[in-house]
Every structure is written in structure tokens, then in C-alpha cells.
Amino acid sequence: MKIKNICCIGAGYVGGPTMAVIAQKCPHIKVTVVDVNAARIAAWNDDDLDKLPVFEPGLDKVVEEARGRNLFFSTYVDQAIDEADMIFISVNTPTKTYGKGKGMAADLKYIELCARQIASVSKTNKIVVEKSTLPVRTASAIKNILDHTGNGVEFQILSNPEFLAEGTAIEDLLAPDRVLIGGDMSDKGKQAIQALVDIYANWVPQERILTTNVWSSELSKLTANAFLAQRVSSINSLSVLCEKTGADVNEVAKAIGMDSRIGSKFLKSSVGFGGSCFQKDILNLVYIAKTYGLNEVADYWEQVIIMNDYQKNRFSNNIVSTLYNTVSGKKITFLGWAFKKDTNDTRESAAIQVADNLLNEQAHIAVYDPKVVEERMYADLDYLNTRSEEENRNLLKVKADPYEACKDSHAVAVLTEWDAFKAYDWQRIYDNMLKPAFVFDGRGILDTQKLEDIGFVCYSIGKG
């Protein structure tokens, strides 16, 4: 079966870039990305490519090439579903904030809504692809809804989890380590799998396209994120021991990473991992383990998150104790708010928790981030509900210029590893700060020797 028309429900950080690349690489396929969020769709359609709702290096070029040719962004969800042979579900699957499984299980209400909408609109057979990250065995729930509420048309469900990381989404999509496709092992299931393999085969080498059963595919995605996050928590757990003993976490990471059995990637100690995926997916894994009564398994993975919370709180506690046990009324400057460099995404960013802790100590915070807009930062803080929206706006100020942000502050804290921070005129920053001038490098990106020569008092994560 040759796919000619694709619809993707959800124009977010995954749906947008993923479909842009499919459209770029498959000019013979019409790709329509739909979303209920009209403002987001308008931004995807904006002539000014700087206004795209997702910032990703290289994304603007891909959108520019394919948009209007075979890539379309629309709010007409029903029409796009009706016309498509293959429908990707790429909606958000956040952690539940209510009811059973609150704070742990994935909230599948958006997924279910999609399934019901697909069922009610479809008049021809469709292949439905889970692109969102879902708990293992979700495909059977989707299939149930489709088969029992539909118009008698046939649906095949595939699992095709996305492994892109934000900030490198386009390179990850163009040259993925692997593409994973899970499907039903019946003849029709195999045909559906092949239809999706054929799409990726337009640019991904066959040996990198892996096919499995649906449950392996669903579970592999949660497992991959759990393993990746575990590496960060593992190295972060050692960062504090390095600080106590005089070891240097970067040296330790290099030394162990050169062991080919361990590998060098994902061993960068930090103020804590963030992003929309790691915490949510591990909590989900923990919840699934618990529902099967596997408490030891659940506790094992939960520790990855406990260590991450410890790392974030440890960073803010250290700022307070270093600044003579009080930051009340003191100006502290944050360089970076995004959860990592090269993205405008702030979901679960360590900066949010660190800011909240310092605001509880009555600090005044000034923030500069090259890509995150002011409203986003305030929305992140307001969401925690720790203090009034007015207090958040009084205590935290967002600056458009990094030097302005650092002026008259007691301390600068690096929360995101933006490359530009390394090239700043640190002498100029020092000259305009209160003394002693402190730098807390939560990402280990600055040359502390150089800063100390200028006169800064430096703390760098994991350096004794």
C-alpha cells in the first residue's frame, strides 16, 4: 500500500518538526499537520520564519522548502482526517494531575479524544500511528475505541515512537540512530508496517528501520528515556561527591566514558535534567510497574527522579549558603531559562525549581534567555502556585540584554548551557556587579580559571 496523504494531529515540538522532515523527504506525499490551538497553527503559517512556534536549528529551512508545496498546517482536523490514508497522533501526554494515578500516570484524555474523532470522521480504511509516547498496551485501547465507535472501516494501529531530542531535532530526524515501528503481526498488520517503513526508507537506511511487535515498541520508548535520564542522575549523584572530595566530575566522566562499554555521551553533570519527557516517562514507567505489583522495579526507577530533585534543590541551597546564608533582597541573575540549549522549550526546566526556591528566600531574580519569551517564564512560575502572580512579577524580572540582567547583582547563575554565554565579556559583567561577585555555573560551561583571574568567586557543578 502506497501512502499519498498523511495527517498529523498535534502541531507541537514533535508533530511540527517530524512532519516537516517527512514532507521535505517525501515530496510525493501530502502532509497536513492539524491542531486545535489556532494561534499555534497561525504561527506555523507565519511568513516570518522567526515566528515559528518551535525554535529548532535548521527547522526554518525545512519548513520554507516544504510549506505550501506538500506541507500544510491547519485547524480543520476533521477534513485532514477524512482525506488521509495514514494518521499520526502526536498530541501531548502529560502526567495526570487528578484522580487515579495523579502525579504519575500518563493522562491519555487527548489521545482518547483523537481516537474518537478519527473513528467518527473516517469513511475509508486508515493506518493510525502512535507518535506520542504512550504507556505500554495503549494501542489496544485505541483499537477498541476505533473498532467500536467507527463507521465499520478498518484501522491498523502502529507504534512509531519519536526519539528526537529538542535542540537537535532536525539532525536527529534526518539521520536517526534508528526508527522503531511496532505493529500487529497479522498479514494486514505487516502491510501497515511496510507502508510506514516505505515512507522512512526515502531517507533512512533500511538497516536502521527496526520493526517489532506493538508492545515492545511502546515499552522501548519509555525504557530509552529511563536509561538516558538514569545516566544523567548517575553522574549528578557523583557530582556532589566530587565536590566533597576534590575530584572533578568532568574528569571522572571522561575517564569512565572512554570505556567503550560505558560510552561518553549523556554524562554531562548539570543542575538537573528537564524537558517534557524524562520525568513524565519515568513516572509513567514507575506507575505501570506499580500496577503490576512490581514495587522493587518501581522504586528502582523512581530513584532517578529523586536524585534529580535533589540536584536542583542542592544548587539553590548552595547559592543561599554561599551568599552568607541569606539572599533576601539580593539580586541574582539567571543566564538561561530553557531546559537545554538551542530550544525555546522550558517544560520541567531546572531553572523553574531553582527560581522558585530562591524566591521563597526572598531573592530578586533577573533572567536572560536568548529564546524564551517573558510570558513563558511567568507562566512556568505561576503554574507552581507557590505565590501570587503579582509577587512573581515583582520579584522576577526578565531582561532582553544579558549585561543589563547582570548589572548590580550579587551572583550570576548559569541554568542553561547556551554557547553564547561562554563568549560574553565577563570583565564587563564583573565590573558592574556587587562585590564579592559570585558565579554559580550549573552547567559547567564557563572557564572558571579565567573568571577567578578576573576576581569572581566561582562554583562549578561537580568541581571540588
Q: Which residues are catalytic?
A: 277
Separation of CA 189 from chain center:
31
Q: Which of 146, 181, 193, 232 binds ligand UDX (CB under 6 A)?
A: 232
> How far, in Å, CA of 198 to CA of 106, rounded?
31
- Binding status of residue 361 toward ligand NAD by CB under 6 A: no
Site membership for ligand UDX, residue 228 (CB under 6 A): yes
Burial 118-138 (b: 16+ CB within 10 A, else e): bbebbeeebbbbbbbbbbbeb
Grouping H, G, I as helix, E, B as strand and the rest as coil, residue 382 is helix
Is 164 annotated to bind a ligand? Reply is: yes
* Residue 450 annotated in ligand binding: no
**11 labelled ligand-binding:** yes
- Give the residue with the Cβ less far from ligand NAD, 110 or 378: 110
Q: Is 244 annotated as a binding residue?
A: no
Residue with Cβ nearer ligand NAD (93 or 122): 93
Applying CB under 6 A, among 32, 93, 236, 344 the residue interacting with ligand NAD is 93
Alpha carbon 184 to chain centroid distance? 29
Q: What are phi and psi of 8, to 5 degrees?
A: -125, 125
Contact of residue 327 among ligand UDX, ligand NAD, none (CB under 5-8 Å per partner type): none
Q: Which helix (H) or strand (E) holds 365?
A: strand 364-368
Q: Does residue number 8 form part of the binding site for ligand UDX (CB under 6 A)?
A: no
Q: In the complex, what is the shortest distance from the CB of residue 12 to ligand UDX, in angstroms, rounded to a whole number?
A: 12
Q: With CA atoms as reference, report the closest residue to 344 among 366, 312, 373.
A: 373
Alpha-carbon distance of 33 to 10, in angstroms, equals 7
Of the ranges 60-68, 88-96, 287-295, 391-399, which one interacts with ligand NAD (CB under 6 A)?
88-96
Kindly write out the interface string for residues 164-183 of this chain, putting x where it contacts ligand UDX by CB under 6 A and - elsewhere.
xxx-----------------
113 binds ligand NAD (CB under 6 A): yes
Tell the smallest beta-carbon distance from residue 98 to ligand NAD (Å): 17
Question: Which of the choices ligand NAD, ligand UDX, none does residue 127 contact, using the CB cut-off of 5 to 8 A by kind?
Answer: none
Place of cell 544548587: 315
Residue whose CB is less far from ligand UDX, 281 or 361: 281
What are the residues whose beta carbons fall under 8 Å from the beta carbon of 251, sequence distance 6 or more? none
Task: Tell me if residue 347 falls in helix, strand or coil.
Answer: coil
For residue 268, the partner it binds in ligand NAD, ligand UDX, none, with Cβ less than 5 to 8 A by kind, is ligand UDX
- The angle, 0 to 180 degrees and rounded to 10, between the axes of the packed helices 295-322 and 278-291 is 150
The total of other beta-carbon atoms located within 10 Å of residue 98's CB is 8
Question: Which residue ranges are tagged as binding site for substrate?
Answer: 162-166, 221-225, 261, 268-274, 339-340, 443
